[in-house]
Amino acid sequence: MSIRLVSAPISLVYDEASLDKEAYLREYSELSESDDDPISQWLKLAKGRGETSETDPVLLNLVVELHRKVDALEMFLKDETPKRISMTNKIKIESIGFEHFKIESNDLEVGKEYYGRVEMPVHPKRDVPIFFKAIDESLCEIVKMHERDEKEWGVYLTARERVLIREAKAK
């Protein structure tokens, strides 16, 4: 089995899934709905009614993101932080593929399932919850990821490939 990976400088916090599977599944579900803040719900309804058909989509997305930033700033000022499960392991991901990724060190137990949050460097920045299984001490197979996150993961992977191709051509 040949697994193609591309260098990607992203971070991961994780723990063994069996430690508290129920809590991890709850957070996994909550993070899928985190995009459904009030402004996102309004935008979905407006798009459904066709109210955004004459609006520039880029400008609309920028305004929505600005609104989210204001909401985040308000949460910060009120000292309200999103509730996340505390995890004991933080590590850098060395490279990614469509269904796999490789971490920098050999910290995993072969065959064990883990739950983690990947800090995706996409716009808007957010945590992507994943369940993954260790194929060896550093190579992981993604077991469970939300469909929207799979798409963003694939887009990020493709963008990283393009960057590496441009760098190789420049040399």
Q: What is the identity of the amino acid at 50?
A: G
**pTM of the model as a whole:** 0.76
Residues 6+ apart with CB under 8 A from 158: none
- SS3 state at 92: strand
Rounded Cα distance between 14 and 116, Å, is: 4
Query: For each successive 10 residues of the chain (171 residues), what is the average pLDDT?
Result: 87 93 91 66 78 84 84 80 84 94 92 94 80 95 92 90 90 82
Segment 89-116, tens digit of pLDDT = 999 999 999 999 999 988 899 999 999 9
Rounded Cα distance between 133 and 113, Å, is: 4
